Amino acid sequence: MPEPNENLAELRKISKILLLTNASVIESELAKIATSEDRKRMWVLIDGLRMPKDIASQLKITDRAVRYFLDGLSAVGFIENRKGEPPKKILDYVPPSWMELAQVEEKEEGEGEPHAKSAESETSA
């Protein structure tokens, strides 16, 4: 009989294969909620360590915009969002094109130029 650690490792492999196999479907479902660049950036920043206020601060958007997005993700089962704890993804998948959005954000901040947010992107988040 396999050891518990071997079982866990095998389950992780299977999970990764299923995630990669269904990446396009997952991205499509995520895109129904992450309807703006700010929301896509929020998804990238959800790591189980950052609190919602930290995400809002990093993206220079309102706490309310982050809370609305997290509530939507929680309602459809994409994240665990317990009060007083950082939100955590159920599926640890970030579409590659969304990672590029976060990298653009970091590059712009590194250059000393503030990232301009349109009123539309913040209110739609």
Q: Is the pTM of this model over 0.85?
A: no
Angle at 102 between CA 96 and CA 103, to 5 degrees: 90
Domains of the chain plus CATH, in order, are 4-124 (1.10.10)
| Residue 80 phi, psi (nearest 5) | -100, 130
Across the chain, which has 125 residues, the per-10-residue mean pLDDT values are 79 86 88 93 94 95 96 94 94 84 59 44 44
Confidence (pLDDT) at 74:
95
Q: CA-CA distance, 35 to 48, in Å (whole number)? A: 22
- β partners of residue 79: 89
* Cβ neighbours of 84 (radius 10 Å): 5
Rg (CA), the chain: 16
